[in-house]
Amino acid sequence: MDFFNYRRRNSTTTHIGNTPLGGDNPIRIQSMTNTPTHETAPSVEQCIRIIDAGADYVRLTAQGTREAENLANIENELHRRGYHTPLVADIHFNPHVAEAAAAIVEKVRINPGNFIDSARTFKHLEYTDEEYAGELARLRDRLVRLLDICKAHGTAIRIGVNHGSLSDRIMSRYGDTPAGIVESCMEFLRVCRDENFNDVVLSIKASNTVVMVQSVRMLLAAMEKEDMHYPLHLGVTEAGEGEDGRIKSAVGIGTLLADGIGDTVRVSLSEAPEAEIPVARKLVDYITARAGHAFIEGTPAADYDFTAMQRRKSRTVGEVGGDKVPVTITDRQPHTGMPADYSCHADGDGIRIVPCEKYTGQPDTFPLFTTAELAALAACRSEKKFLMLSYPQLDTAVWNVLDSDKSVIAVLTSRHANPVGECRAFFHRLLRRGCTVPVVVQLSYKENEVEDLQLKSAADFGALLLDGFADGIWLRNEGTISDDKITGCMYGILQAARRRMSHTEYISCPGCGRTLFDLEKTIARIKAATSHLKTLKIGVMGCIVNGPGEMADADYGYVGAGRNRVSLYKNKTCVLKNIPEEEAVEHLIALIKENGDWTEP
């Protein structure tokens, strides 16, 4: 890839019904039903709503043979009503069900974590090399049976790895690591290649955007080594709903799209499935509009590892840089009536930033200079000085300031059509020079819809934060969106990028035909009871497929255990089983209190 200039990765073409994927085809958008797949009428109606919203593919869960066989009735009724969008069967735990579905629909998704391996138990298993090779032979034999059926019916396969459902076998050898996630996928890919089966799509998903992006980048590196170029499906699983779901999805998916990675996208929101489609479309259109942009000159730093994603080392100036959490800068004041122009918020109280001509040395106030004001900057004796500049403005005079004046904090701006690429070029110049100046990234937008600002800013800032860049962010908008929404967006981006916690995080799945309770209402109830617990992560899962696995990153978990039954978790340990749904939120609160994590609202 080109770190600095946007272009889509070259992938092979996968044939999926009448809608091929990868190659020169546009990035496809998809969603998944949450109706019971054994019920034809509601499944058909929801498929139509998803398709009418603009989906290129529709996925349906098939947890048993009954559901898999009913896919034929659903597809036939859709065809009768003039809808020929490819359907995808989502399979977990049962290869027999995958084989039944492969004879009906255009694509089957299988999960390497549970295709032949039993459900994850979090038990540490020990394998000799011979025993591990035996397990791989068993995997090959079982997968080849499915591939033969797919060949006979022209059915594609998605090898979909979820961070939350890695098998105990993979965990025993690789641990809960991106390397394990990648190898889980590669084991299946090698069988497909050996069997000359090429209608393959890959996905690696996690609720943690850092894990998701790092794993996908590592997968691409692993495929390149073995001369594989299959298309990729992108998604942040259990992203949540509302603002958090949109921002987290944009941080993870947007980062990879900016890299040129991704051939199909699903934004997994805990909302109606058709609501996912316009969100995904906006995100894809925003990034792909960069194609053909003005060329950005840049040279990657020799020691920069694109898959490591380690934070750039910078010196500390006050509350900015070093190992400090990233600051936020806003165009409003933290205290009513304060006359300053900007405010910077770190761990403690905010500081004021004013244009240099307004700076008079008042307490907790610091000046902002432009590159045309370097002489004034040199003469200023403030302990903190902000210098606004862009990548094209780097010249000898600017370098002298960045290198020698230890009181300077750079404010990096970009008006380029590809702001991520231009900012990356700036940071790589710093890395190559060994310059440790702390950098706050300022990006500006012209949006009147909150969702548009959330998606665009999260995709841009998120990519730089996940790369390990930026000691702070400054989001500006010329539209009609309120200051509170803009500030909330910045904190949401920092949290989604795992750089700064500021509010309760909900790791909630979008729901599917396996979900046996009202997910949206349940999330609303849990949020109403726990949203003041700002340091906690709470998982809300419709079923056991990803439940305890994805919730290993959560402090507490609420998992569907059956119809109107819920199990509660502390980290990945189940502590209460099969609670009646109407009592589960109260039990969750009691569990949080028992563990000393509760504070009163």
Residue 482 scores a pLDDT above 70: yes
pTM tops 0.85, yes or no: yes
Find which of 140-144, 331-335, 508-512, 526-530 is predicted with most confidence, using mean pLDDT: 140-144
Is-contact 387 408, C-beta < 8 A?
Answer: yes
**Which tokens in the block code for residue 590?**
């009691």
Residue 393 scores a pLDDT above 60: yes
- The span from the CA of 473 to the CA of 345, in Å, is 10
Dihedral sign of CA atoms 282, 159, 245, 41 in order = positive
What integer pLDDT is reported at residue 546 of this predicted model? 56
Residue 119 scores a pLDDT above 80: no
**Which tokens in the block code for residue 566?**
């819920």
HSE (side-chain half, CA atoms, 13 Å) at 108: 31
pLDDT band at 338 (very low <50, low <70, confident <90, very high): very low
Q: What is the mean pLDDT of residues 437-454?
A: 97
What integer pLDDT is reported at residue 339 of this predicted model? 36
What backbone phi and psi angles, to 5 degrees, belong to 560? -65, 130
Residue spans per domain, the chain: 13-288, 327-496, 505-594
Residue 190 scores a pLDDT above 80: yes
Q: What is the mean pLDDT of residues 133-140?
A: 92
Return the minimum-mean-pLDDT range out of 401-415, 460-474, 527-541. Answer: 527-541
What integer pLDDT is reported at residue 335 of this predicted model? 43
Residue 592 scores a pLDDT above 60: yes
What integer pLDDT is reported at residue 548 of this predicted model? 63
Mean pLDDT, the chain, integer: 91
Tell me, which fold does domain 505-594 have in CATH?
Answer: Sulfite Reductase Hemoprotein; domain 1 (3.30.413)
Residue 35 scores a pLDDT above 60: yes
Domain 13-288 identical in fold to domain 327-496: yes
**Which tokens in the block code for residue 535?**
């340091």
- CATH superfamily of this structure's domain 13-288: Dihydropteroate synthase-like (3.20.20.20)
For the stretch 356-377, pLDDT in tens is 998 998 888 899 999 999 999 9
Q: What is the mean pLDDT of residues 182-204?
A: 96
pLDDT band at 534 (very low <50, low <70, confident <90, very high): confident
Give percent of the chain with pLDDT exceeding 70: 93
CATH of 327-496, one of 2.30.30, 3.10.20, 2.40.160, 3.20.20: 3.20.20
Dihedral sign of CA atoms 353, 495, 429, 298 in order = negative
Is-contact 287 280, C-beta < 8 A?
Answer: no
Q: Tell me, what amino acid is at 84?
A: H
**Which tokens in the block code for residue 209?**
């955007």
HSE (side-chain half, CA atoms, 13 Å) at 186: 20
Eight-state DSSP code of residue 531: T
pLDDT band at 70 (very low <50, low <70, confident <90, very high): very high
Is-contact 572 551, C-beta < 8 A?
Answer: yes
What integer pLDDT is reported at residue 111 of this predicted model? 92
Residue with tokens 């960045």: 402
Angle at 93 between CA 92 and CA 95, to 5 degrees: 90
Is-contact 502 534, C-beta < 8 A?
Answer: yes
What backbone phi and psi angles, to 5 degrees, belong to 140? -60, -50
What integer pLDDT is reported at residue 175 of this predicted model? 83
For the stretch 285-308, pLDDT in tens is 999 999 999 999 999 999 999 999
